[in-house]
Amino acid sequence: MAETKGLFVTFEGIDFSGKTTQISLLRDRLLEAGLDVLVVREPGGTAISEKIRTILLDRDHDALSERAEIFLYSAARAQIVDEQIVPALQQGKVILCDRYFDSTTAYQGYGRGLDLTIVDTINSFATNGLEPDITFLLDIAPEMAARRRVAQGAAPDRMELQAGAFHQRVREGYLQISRKHSHRFRVLDAARATQDLAAEIWETIRQTIPPSQQ
């Protein structure tokens, strides 16, 4: 694994848990503090990975096999790790990544039921073993997330069309992953007010950056 000097922060949770809002608020705080920030999302974030994202989220692709699905998510990840994340970390940037390999463990492992040992091997190969420094899990009940989607009038993509039981397994999977990797996970109740969550996230990050830059 390449030597890195930046900070790698990932955000996880089921859809409509509020990750994107929190990433945007944290990015603003970091920029105010004068830090160099890169915000990326998965799957996506590079021209090649965005094309793979289109295949993955296309509602017409209900024939996509579970094995093809995990390789596509992992292919998109390998590309963004090499093209964006590792170079940015080497330049000392703070990377805020909307989803990373814990999504694959939660969705393809716990959600689809693929063998967790194989999922770990694929995750590790796709990322050259690059783990996040900090992972925020925005934990929310699938029913509340679904109400948020309806309130926002958003059309569901291929993954969001999965049954409620699937999203329940994903949520529980995330909680298990967070217990297994408690050194890097911070689990937050995503039903809390946006600004409260933002304050707690900032406090965690603030403790990891030098006082001169706060």
Interface residues with ligand TMP (CB under 6 A) are 15, 41-43, 73, 99, 103-104, 107-108, 159-160
Residue 14 Cβ, how far from ligand TMP at the closest point, in Å?
Answer: 8
User: Closest CB to ligand TMP among 42 and 139?
Assistant: 42
Between residues 35 and 166, which has the closer beta carbon with respect to ligand TMP?
166
Report phi then psi at 4, rounded to 5: -130, 155
Nearer to ligand TMP, 35 or 142 (CB): 142
CB 71 to ligand TMP: min, Å: 11
CA-wise closest residue to 191 among 153, 156, 140, 120: 140
Can you spell out the DSSP letters for 69-120?
Answer: HHHHHHHHHHHHIIIIIHHHHHTTPEEEEE--HHHHIIIIIIIT---HHHHH
169 pairs with which residues across the strands?
none
Specify whether the CB–CB gap between 149 and 16 falls below 8 A.
Answer: yes
Cβ proximity of 53 and 44 under 8 Å:
yes
**Residue pointed to by tokens 């990373």:** 100
What is the C-alpha to C-alpha distance for residues 168 and 151, in angstroms, rounded to an integer? 20
CA dist., res. 80 & res. 98, Å (int): 12
Place of tokens 């289109």: 54
**Beta carbon nearer to ligand TMP, 35 or 40:** 40
Per-residue CA distances from 133 to 6, 78, 152, 160, 176 (Å): 10, 18, 32, 28, 18
Residue 6 vs 13, nearer CB to ligand TMP: 13
Minimum Å gap between C-beta 110 and ligand TMP is 11
Which residue lies nearer to ligand TMP by CB, 35 or 139? Answer: 139
- Least distance to ligand TMP from the beta carbon of 99, Å? 4
Smallest separation (angstroms) from ligand TMP to the CB of 45 = 10
Least distance to ligand TMP, CB of residue 107, Å: 3
